[in-house]
Chains A and B, each alone.
Chain A
Amino acid sequence: MTDQVQSQAPQTTGHVWDGDLQEYNNPLPAWWVWAFYATVVFALIYWVLYPAWPLGKGFTKGMDTITYVNNLGQTKTVPWNTRALLMKEMNKAAAEQKPYFEKVMATPYAQIVHDPELSNFVLSAGRSLFLNNCAACHQSGGQGLHGLSANLTDDYWLYGGTFAKIQQTITYGRHGYMPPFRDVLSGTQIAQLANYVVSLSGQPADQTAAKAGDVLFHSQTAACYYCHGVNAKGRSVIGSANLTAPVSWIWTAYRSSNTPAENVAAVAHTIEGGVYKGVMPTWKDRLTPVQIKVLTAYVHELGGGQ
């Protein structure tokens, strides 16, 4: 090997600078040069088959075509492009899922959850939809987040936990609202109400204040019963909270582990400032009806469905 190299006279590029400065010529390996020519040939073929060259206001569309069906049922054949390719791939996947989705659409909720095959499909398809769209607020297990979103796994629902109500909530979204009472009621009155509300779920409270709060709750002055109901169990039509529920609430830092005074203060805080949050986005423009139906069944089966 060494002998061979030494036996060859050194090749130069032939250029001479400053009288004696020369440059060795190191030709590229043959395999590289031929690979380069091959890519050129590949490009020539590609230019003919696929969209490539600009021509004034348009471009060469290539020879390859894609046939797909759009949502109006029209079959179209167009020159190859990535958007048409997507149509074709979405169609193919939709065709594979069609028997399931059609069955979901045609079956009432109560039957879906009792049909082993369908409920299996709904739970797995629902899970991926839930993780992508709902989990950011309601958390991956649907357990909700205090101060932000409702727990979907317990027995308490602001807007109702039936299939129909859940579907309505997902489709159109929700917006929680409770008016602030700081300008309507005195500090004493708010404290009385807070004690009454805390006593409703069996937590320790000042009984005298709670009694006065009971009267206020059902009076025209505070009129809490308008929204929360005479029995304080809330009204799902407007999404008012069930105040007798012994679980931690969404908007109020009210917990059984708190001291009674902390709980009374937390409830008083909410009565003073009201609630102007609890926005659940509208999903009807983002999800298809069958996706919403799958999600509804999934959420219902998280544990709290009524």
Chain B
Amino acid sequence: MFNFKHEWVETNVGVMLVLVMLAISVGGLVEITPLFFIKNTVEPVKGVYPYTPLELRGRDIYQANGCFYCHSQMIRPFRDEALRYGHYSLAAESQYDHPFLWGSERQGPDLARVGGKYSNEWMVQHLISPRSVVPESIMPAFPFLEQPLAYNDIEQRMEALRDAGVPYALTPAENARNIKQFGPKIAEELYIPDAKKNLIAQARAGDYDGHPGQITQMDALVAYLQVLGTMVDFSKYPNDQFVQDR
């Protein structure tokens, strides 16, 4: 019979290391692991698709400039938030986000459903000089976003996300799967070999920054902001549709 003594643990640093790691991982395992198995963690909902190449670069710029330090992207199911920001965020709406940009601070307003709330012009003006449109704003100015957008590595960025499980298509077979899942129009945007072409086309057509001739970081960031929270059409569901998932 193994004679277990506390002293044995305390005097064997290797054993203690293993046992400490086991002990502290219990909390994480108990809270996180079941979420992978519970059916409704990610709500079944129509309309959510991975970002287009331009929106994806916009998301990178959002991250690079640390927007998430002051802006959350997580509308909680509270009345005051529902009135100000709209429908509470669904897990399904962040399912293609790596990493999540939920944030934890709100020096600025929540941006989970900012898409469509303001015009592109307002977004550009506000990013260049926040106080010119919102006098009481404490947001820093981002005039340097009007520099050209680097998108030569867009394919690699998409491939990295594909490795993480985002359904960007690298092969015609994957493209066919996407056409089935998202429809031909969105599937086209998710096809990695056409990424550069799609990015340029969206920036030209959208002209988010008001300079149709050039593709800037502003184009990408505004394209991203304008799609936030707009993918799910909540009018298609009863207003308690997602109650059953909790």
Known: A15-B7, A56-B37, A59-B38. A83 touches B119 (CB 8 A): no
B88 to A286, Cβ gap below 8 A? no
A223 contacts partner chain B, Cβ-Cβ < 8 Å: no
- Chain B interface bracket (under 10, 10 to 19, 20 to 34, 35 or more): 35 or more
A81 to B34, Cβ gap below 8 A? no
Residue of A nearest to B240 (CB): A70
A87 contacts partner chain B, Cβ-Cβ < 8 Å: yes
SS class, residues of chain A in contact with chain B: mixed
B133 to A145, Cβ gap below 8 A? yes
A281 contacts partner chain B, Cβ-Cβ < 8 Å: yes
Looking at the assembled complex, report how far the CB atom of B121 sits from the nearest CB atom of chain A, in whole angstroms: 5
B125 contacts partner chain A, Cβ-Cβ < 8 Å: yes
A86 to B119, Cβ gap below 8 A? no
Find chain B residues with CB under 8 A from A81 CB. 243, 246
B134 to A136, Cβ gap below 8 A? yes
B52 contacts partner chain A, Cβ-Cβ < 8 Å: no
* B76-94 contacts to A (CB < 8 Å): 76-79, 82, 84, 86, 88
A90 to B79, Cβ gap below 8 A? yes
Number of A-B residue pairs having CB atoms within 8 Å of each other in the complex: 98
Task: Please encode chain A, from 124 to 141, with 1 for each CB lying within 8 Å of some chain B CB and 0 for all others.
Answer: 000000001100110100
Known: A84-B243, A136-B133. A57 touches B117 (CB 8 A): no
Known: A54-B37, A148-B133. A277 touches B121 (CB 8 A): yes
- CA of A76 to CA of B238, assembled, Å: 12
Looking at the assembled complex, report how far the CB atom of A149 sits from the nearest CB atom of chain B, in whole angstroms: 8
- CA of A22 to CA of B51, assembled, Å: 62
A282 to B116, Cβ gap below 8 A? yes
Residue of A nearest to B234 (CB): A285
B25 contacts partner chain A, Cβ-Cβ < 8 Å: no
- CA of A15 to CA of B11, assembled, Å: 11
B116 to A281, Cβ gap below 8 A? yes
Find chain A residues with CB under 8 A from B134 CB. 136
Residue of B nearest to A86 (CB): B77
* A281-300 contacts to B (CB < 8 Å): 281-282, 285-286
Please tell me which one of the listed residues A57, A87, A282 contacts residue B240 in the complex, with CB atoms under 8 A apart.
A87
Using CB atoms and an 8 Å cutoff, list the residues of chain B in contact with chain A. Answer: 6-7, 10-11, 30, 33-35, 37-39, 76-79, 82, 84, 86, 88, 116-122, 125-126, 132-134, 210, 235, 238-240, 242-246
* The 5 nearest A-B residue pairs measured at CB: A54-B34, A279-B119, A81-B246, A70-B240, A86-B77
A-B contact pairs, 13 of them (CB 8 A): A15-B7, A17-B11, A59-B34, A70-B239, A76-B243, A82-B77, A83-B242, A83-B245, A87-B243, A133-B117, A277-B210, A279-B121, A285-B116
Other than A83-B242, A277-B121, give 14 A-B pairs with Cβ distance below 8 A. A15-B7, A54-B33, A59-B34, A71-B238, A76-B243, A81-B243, A83-B240, A84-B240, A86-B77, A90-B82, A147-B125, A148-B121, A148-B122, A148-B125
